[in-house]
Structure 1
Amino acid sequence: MRPEDTPPTGDRALPRAGAADALRVAAYVLLPSVVCGPVLRRRRAMAAAERLGWDRTGIGAVRRLRSRYGDGPLLLPFGRRAALVLAPRDAVDVLDRTPDPFSPASREKRAALAQFQPHGSLISRGAVREDRRRVNEDALDSGQPLHRGAGRLVRVVREEAGELLPDGGPVAELAWPELEKSWWRTVRRVVFGDAARDDDLLTERLARLRAAANWSYLMPQHRLRRARFLAHLRERTAGAEPGSLAAALPPAAPGTDPWGQVGHWLFAFDAVGMTLPRTLALLAGHPEALRRATEEATAGDPVRPRELPYLRACVRETLRLWPTTPLLLRETVTATHRGATTVPAGTTFVLYTPYLHRSGAAGAEPDRFVPERWLGGRDLARLGVVPFSAGPGRCPGEDVVLLLAATWLAAVLPGRMFRVTSRTRPGPDGPLPAGLDPFALRFSVLRPGAGPAPGGG
């Protein structure tokens, strides 16, 4: 914020957390996100987070801090200067002022993501960031609900969904291992073309680097592993087939490294894969939403690209309930003024999205599945609900993500009945859990008239 600007929260000094409250932030907000894996999810930790209710504890802790200290942001007396954003309007303000003075290229993020995308736009600053951002927006057709290559993208998604759940078999089981394998095949075909469908080595190399990235600056850079991955990535990108996302990369100025952006696409599409079983579980447990979603899926030509607004709303609502990025970080690149307080350069602002998404800013019943809250042109990002971030740093792949996810749901829902057979079954009878482990979700899939599903009728 420039010195002459008037802050949206009024003329006041920022509150400072006491030692005990700072420890609560570390224990209930920051540590669980680190333990679960900010870049590559750790599956045992995700299971523990759901079982022990870590997200609900974190949300409750932040609510109590806001009640005690006011709207904040709340300064945290850690080794690195940090401030926890408490009010949704302050979250909007920080994201609206990206990248200057609130840069997404925080120290933690640069150290982590440099393991596999050293030239990614998200960890770049200055003019080169703008060049890299434009490359992403051009290739991903940002702002367009239907990507210019939507015809091929829809075909790929539907083909792979059909391989996962073929029409011939009356009864099937669906769990994460099968879905993950299918989804990565989909992603590689979407990004590079059909020849990359079975290139598991590329995905495995990326996973090893993402595992190292979980440790941020506590882990040395794996330069040899990164070089092998980037060479593999460049080879695939150079041979990208027409209609794939990588083939849409535009010419760029020297130093922009358009191919270097593709690693982040693969990373982001992994989060989409985790959202699919969560959305499917919600629809299986909410009959009215399932009815609307299935009607939309069967209303038009299945091979023709469609926006599918209700299915997109279901995906957005899933991401609101269980954001795939629990912590959004922004680091001040210049000294900024918040009321009577000068916040020095190098201060990290922490946005805890599980709290922001369930703070009530999204509307009534924040702990329930209500896809309708996303319909009618509402921009919930202006209220601090930011599953794709917001402002100038908003995810450039948002529209492609929603197209692929909604198309996948439209491909698997018609003609099938899904029943959640795992422990947690999100339904309409009570508040939804603050955490839902996607890796533990299991479904029985029944085609009507085929008899009882496994495990009972």
Structure 2
Amino acid sequence: MALASRVGTARVFGRVLLPTLAKGVIVRRPGVLAFEQRVQADEAAIRTVAALRAEHGPGPVRLRVPGRSVALVVSVEDVVRLLDETPEVFAPATAEKRAALRHFQPHGSLATRGAGRRERRRFNEEALRPENADWERAVRDEVDLLVRHARSTGVLTWDAFSQAWWRVARRIVFGNGARGDEELTAELGALRADANWAYLRPRREGLRRRFEERVRGHAERGEAGGLAHGRAVEDVVEQAPHWLFAFDAAGIVSMRALAVGAAGDEPGSVSVLESARLWPTTPVILRESTRETSWHGEVLPAGTTFVVFAPYFHRAHGDSYRPDLWPQGAPGVVPFSGGPAVCPGRDLVLASAGLAVEVLREQLVFRKRLREPLPATLDHFALELEVATPEDVMPRAHAGRGD
């Protein structure tokens, strides 16, 4: 088992882990993300992991962390093993993850282990099936309004897209009655901002109780067309915060998909997957071993934290827009994690986000795409996509051909 030098460990923390934490692992920090786009922080992070792999070989590289056993995964084969043997051997509920999620979802499936996790995972898998929500109507209604706004201004901004997408998310989770509950989203955002600090910020129990009561009110209403319909109220209160959290990530990858592949004719779900490959919204995947494990002939102790830096594996397939990689995917590309702990909302997210991308591409013409090679760090907050209607563009296109 390779052991990184003190300098190598410092580089991993300084160029990979700390910049990722600074951007915000639970909710993105706009100012930090803007700065990291300017310096292309993820490009430096990818180079750092690649250098460590070149120096130490394919086995997980142990980092010199006092009092902890921490290993950076640097090979696709080890990523596959780590995910396939979750949660029995490698638990998703690491100490860091529990510390973050306790701020807004202390009883979520990602923050628990054992029988409690199995029951909560089963509930999420059942609840998050696409047929349990009127997601298509929610997407089409809100995207139609967004298209009108974009046509009137000539630009599609992240702020406008985000507001529409949060309305979609609230409707999918709780039904049409939650459409205008912006306070729900604001309270969740404040709690997620606290969660970015994990151990370092005290929990705001009063705010979390108010947020949970708001969730409970929607769950008790049990409106048809929402995921909460027909579900036990307390189960919804425990798990719905993460459903909403996941839809935020889906909105980010959708906006980036429009920026990079808006002119394509591939299915919207493919554009979303490729966007998530290029800019994974979960850049660091953590697992904690529940027992001793053997790696390439050497043993790591129980309690070892394994770190997967997803951009390193995703960008191995290039810095260009590659819809041809999908739907089969590519080795090491895990936009929804993988194995038994794969995101239970994957199908619902792909269906709803993919439809949003398709409807926007049908009704708007995006005048520009991001240039290749595509940047490793992309600030979605700053995206402003110049748009026109097909009717505005077609006459000029015909005239250019002499028609």
The interval holding the TM-score normalised by the smaller chain is over 0.9
Shift, 1:179, TM fit: 1.1
Corresponding residue SS for 1:330: strand
Corresponding residue SS for 2:367: strand
Distance 1:415 1:116, change over 3 A: closer
Who is 2:139 aligned against?
Answer: 157
- Say whether 1:435 aligns with 2:392: no
- From 87, 96, 114, give the equivalent of 1:126: 114
User: What are the Cα deviations for residues 132-173 of structure 1, in whole angstroms up to 9, with x where unaligned?
Assistant: 0000000112xxxxx2246x2101100000111129956622
- From 192, 195, 212, give the equivalent of 1:230: 212
- Say whether 1:37 aligns with 2:21: no
Give the distance between the partners of 1:23 and 1:416, measured in 2 at CA: 47
Give the distance between the partners of 1:219 and 1:200, measured in 2 at CA: 25
Who is 2:361 aligned against?
Answer: 413
Give the distance between the partners of 2:250 and 2:152, measured in 1 at CA: 27
Who is 1:395 aligned against?
Answer: 343
Who is 2:51 aligned against?
Answer: 64
Give the distance between the partners of 2:324 and 2:113, measured in 1 at CA: 38
Give the distance between the partners of 1:124 and 1:444, measured in 2 at CA: 44
- State the one-letter code of the partner of 2:250: V
Aligned partners of 1:315 and 1:405 also within 8 Å: yes
Shift, 1:62, TM fit: 0.6
Who is 1:96 aligned against?
Answer: 84
Who is 1:9 aligned against?
Answer: none
Who is 1:279 aligned against?
Answer: 257
Give the distance between the partners of 2:216 and 2:90, measured in 1 at CA: 31
Corresponding residue SS for 1:384: coil
Shift, 1:42, TM fit: 0.1
**Percent identity at matched positions?**
43
Distance 1:215 1:31, change over 3 A: same
- State the one-letter code of the partner of 1:70: G
Shift, 1:405, TM fit: 0.7
Aligned partners of 1:356 and 1:384 also within 8 Å: yes
Runs of 4 or more above 4 Å deviation: 167-171
Corresponding residue SS for 1:68: helix
Aligned partners of 1:117 and 1:263 also within 8 Å: yes
- Say whether 1:182 aligns with 2:164: yes
Give the distance between the partners of 2:29 and 2:152, measured in 1 at CA: 34
Distance 1:57 1:162, change over 3 A: same
User: What are the Cα deviations for residues 334-386 of structure 1, in whole angstroms up to 9, with x where unaligned?
Assistant: 222224422112211000000011224xxxxx2111112113xx253xx2110
Aligned partners of 2:87 and 2:340 also within 8 Å: yes
- From 61, 81, 87, give the equivalent of 1:74: 61
Distance 1:450 1:332, change over 3 A: same
Aligned partners of 1:165 and 1:172 also within 8 Å: no
Distance 1:451 1:98, change over 3 A: closer
Aligned partners of 1:171 and 1:444 also within 8 Å: no
Corresponding residue SS for 2:390: coil
Who is 1:373 aligned against?
Answer: 325
- State the one-letter code of the partner of 1:333: T
Shift, 1:419, TM fit: 2.7
- From 321, 326, 350, give the equivalent of 2:278: 321
Aligned partners of 2:151 and 2:387 also within 8 Å: no
User: What are the Cα deviations for residues 58-94 of structure 1, in whole angstroms up to 9, with x where unaligned?
Assistant: 0011111100000120000113321000001101100
- From 97, 106, 119, give the equivalent of 2:94: 106
Who is 1:299 aligned against?
Answer: none
TM-score (norm 1): 0.83
Aligned partners of 2:147 and 2:363 also within 8 Å: no
Shift, 1:451, TM fit: 7.2
- State the one-letter code of the partner of 2:27: L
User: What are the Cα deviations for residues 7-34 of structure 1, in whole angstroms up to 9, with x where unaligned?
Assistant: xxxxxxx100000000000011100111
- From 259, 262, 268, give the equivalent of 2:237: 259
Unaligned runs of 5+ in 2: 395-403
How many residues end up aligned between the 2 structures? Answer: 393
Q: 320-329 or 333-342: which moved more?
A: 333-342
Distance 1:342 1:115, change over 3 A: same
State the Cα RMSD in Å. Answer: 1.9
Corresponding residue SS for 1:247: coil
Distance 1:167 1:213, change over 3 A: closer
Shift, 1:218, TM fit: 1.6
- Say whether 1:194 aligns with 2:176: yes
Give the distance between the partners of 2:132 and 2:115, measured in 1 at CA: 29
Aligned partners of 1:119 and 1:261 also within 8 Å: yes
- From 212, 216, 224, give the equivalent of 1:242: 224
- Say whether 1:47 aligns with 2:4: no
Corresponding residue SS for 2:8: helix
Aligned partners of 1:161 and 1:408 also within 8 Å: yes
Who is 1:3 aligned against?
Answer: none
Q: 117-126 or 229-238: which moved more?
A: 229-238
Aligned partners of 1:170 and 1:446 also within 8 Å: no
Give the distance between the partners of 2:246 and 2:149, measured in 1 at CA: 30
Distance 1:236 1:125, change over 3 A: same
Give the distance between the partners of 2:167 and 2:161, measured in 1 at CA: 10
- State the one-letter code of the partner of 1:89: E
Corresponding residue SS for 2:386: strand
- State the one-letter code of the partner of 1:441: L
Corresponding residue SS for 2:366: strand
Pairs within 5 Å for 1:198-217: 198-217=180-199
User: What are the Cα deviations for residues 299-342 of structure 1, in whole angstroms up to 9, with x where unaligned?
Assistant: xxxxxxxxxxx221111011000000010000112222224422
Give the distance between the partners of 2:363 and 2:119, measured in 1 at CA: 46
Corresponding residue SS for 2:105: coil
Give the distance between the partners of 1:248 and 1:410, measured in 2 at CA: 30
Corresponding residue SS for 2:38: helix
Give the distance between the partners of 2:125 and 2:58, measured in 1 at CA: 34
- Say whether 1:84 aligns with 2:66: no
Distance 1:239 1:20, change over 3 A: same
